[in-house]
Structure 1
Amino acid sequence: MSYGAHDDQTTALALAARAGDVRAAEAFVAATQRDVIRFLAHLAGPADAEDLAQETFLRAMRALPGYEGRSSARTWLLSIARHTAIDHLRALTRRPRTADLSDWAATADAARTAQGPRFDEQVLINRLISQLDPDRREAFVATQVLGLSYLEAAEVVGCPVGTIRSRVSRAREDLAAALAADNAPHRHLRAV
C-alpha cells in the first residue's frame, strides 16, 4: 500500500529505525516532530505540546519493534500522540492545575511584539478550534490542519471513516457559527 511520497519515506525511516539504524531514527523524529507538536497543541494545549511530543517519541521508540508498517508511520505515530494526550488530560483531571506565570508572561510578550492581522487571525482560529468538542477537534486537526486523509485520521482516532467525516463536517459547522458569532459585535461597531 502506498501512502504518498512523504509518508512512504517516513515509513521507510521508521522501519530502518526498527532495524537498529540510529540515523534513520533521528531522521524519523525530525520528519514527524512538527506534525506531532501541532497535533498535541490542539489536543492538549500549546503549553504542554512539546513535553507531550517528547513523551510520544519515547513511547514510539519503545513500541517501534512491534511496528510492522501496515499503516503509514505518520498515522501510527499520531495515534500514539493521541493516546499520550488522552493520558495527560486524564491525569490533569485527577489533580488541580496551577497557572504557570512564566508561560503567561511569554505569551503576553509575544502578543505585544506580533504584528498584523495574520497573528490576530491565527489566535482567533486557534481559540475557536480549542473550543470545539474534543472528538470533533481531533478529527478536524488531523484532517484539516495536519492534512491526513479521512482514512488515516480514522486509523489515528480508532473509529470508522464515516465518523471522521461526520466529526469534521460538524466541526466546520461549529467553527463557522463561532466565527459568525465572534464577528457579529465587530460588524455592529463598524456600522456605527
Structure 2
Amino acid sequence: MNTTLPAPRGPQRDSAPPDRTAEDAASTDWALAARAGDRDAADAFVRALHRDVVRFVAHLAADPQAAEDLAQDTFLRALRTLHRFEGRSSARTWLLTIARRAVVDDFRRAAARPLLADTHDWGTTIERAQPTGLPGFEEGVALQELLAALPYDRRQAFVLTQLLGLSYAEAAQEADCPVGTVRSRVARARTAMTAQLERDEAEAVVRAA
C-alpha cells in the first residue's frame, strides 16, 4: 500500500455536507475498495475525510498547530491497518477512532518528553505561536480556549456532535459509551462554555467601565 498521502484538492467547505449518510456511504465504499488495492479509491478516501480529521484532532488535542501532523499520522495508521476494516461501521467513525488514538499517543509522548523551558506563562507562549491577521482569528482562538478548558471526554463529545456533525449514536459508537452519556457530556460542555463566556463578558464590562 502506498503510504504517501495525497494533498486535498479544491476548496475546503466550512459548512456541513447536505447529505451525511450519502457521504459516509461513499467514503466507506472507497475504504473497502482501497482495502482491495485500488489506489485511486485510497486517494478519494483520504480527500473525502481529510477536513473532518484535521478539525477533530485540532479541537481534541487543543493544539491547532499540530493538526496536520496528527491528521497525517491518522491516515498513515489507517492505510497500514486498512486490511482489518470490514465496513461494520462507517469509514468516518473508524477513522475518527484511529484519530483519537493518535491524539492520545501524542499526549503520552509529550508527557514523556523533558521540559525544554521553565515558564509559568504558557498562555502567552501559545498565543505568540498562533497565526494572526486571518479572518475569524479571534473567534477561533476563543473557541479553542473554551474547548481546551473542558475535560477530555466532554471536549470529545462536543467536537464530534457540534463541530463534525455526527449523530449522538455515532458519537457514542466512536467514544465507546452509551448515547445518554454523550448527551450528558455535550450538555455539560455547553453549560461550562456558556458560563465561561458570561464570565468573560462580565469582566470585559468591568474593564470598560
With the length of structure 2 as denominator, give the TM-score of the two structures: 0.81
The aligned residue for residue 129 of structure 1 is: 147
| 1:95-174 alignment runs, 5 A limit | 95-98=113-116, 107=130, 110-111=131-132, 113-114=133-134, 118-174=136-192
Match of 1:49, SS state, is helix
Instruction: Say which structure is richer in helix.
Output: 1
Deviations 1:47-72 (A, max 9, x none): 22111111111111111111111111
Amino acid in structure 2 at the alignment position of 1:124: A
5+ long unaligned stretches in structure 2: 1-19, 118-125
Q: 1:4, 1:40 → 2: CA distance?
A: 22
Give the counterpart of 1:80 among 98, 119, 139: 98
CA contact (8 A) 1:56 1:80 kept: yes
CA contact (8 A) 1:78 1:156 kept: yes
Q: Cα distance 1:104–1:98, how it changes in 2: closer, same or farther (>3 A)? A: farther
The aligned residue for residue 70 of structure 1 is: 88
Determine what percentage of the aligned residue pairs are the same residue.
54
Q: Cα distance 1:97–1:27, how it changes in 2: closer, same or farther (>3 A)? A: farther
- How far residue 26 of structure 1 moved from its aligned partner, in angstroms, is 0.5
Give the counterpart of 2:40 among 14, 23, 26: 23
Q: 1:49, 1:137 → 2: CA distance?
A: 16
Amino acid in structure 2 at the alignment position of 1:143: T
Deviations 1:158-179 (A, max 9, x none): 1111111111110000100111
Q: 2:24, 2:163 → 1: CA distance?
A: 16
Aligned residues: 181
Q: Cα distance 1:15–1:88, how it changes in 2: closer, same or farther (>3 A)? A: same
CA contact (8 A) 1:151 1:161 kept: yes
Match of 1:4, SS state, is helix
Match of 2:88, SS state, is coil
Amino acid in structure 1 at the alignment position of 2:199: A
Amino acid in structure 2 at the alignment position of 1:17: A
The aligned residue for residue 65 of structure 2 is: 47
Question: Which range moved further: 119-128 or 130-139?
Answer: 119-128
- How far residue 121 of structure 1 moved from its aligned partner, in angstroms, is 2.1
Q: 1:139, 1:75 → 2: CA distance?
A: 13
Q: 1:128, 1:162 → 2: CA distance?
A: 23
With the length of structure 1 as denominator, give the TM-score of the two structures: 0.87
CA contact (8 A) 1:56 1:84 kept: yes
Give the counterpart of 2:30 among 10, 13, 16: 13
Are 1:36 and 2:53 matched, yes or no?
yes
5+ long unaligned stretches in structure 1: none
Are 1:186 and 2:209 matched, yes or no?
no
- How far residue 96 of structure 1 moved from its aligned partner, in angstroms, is 2.6
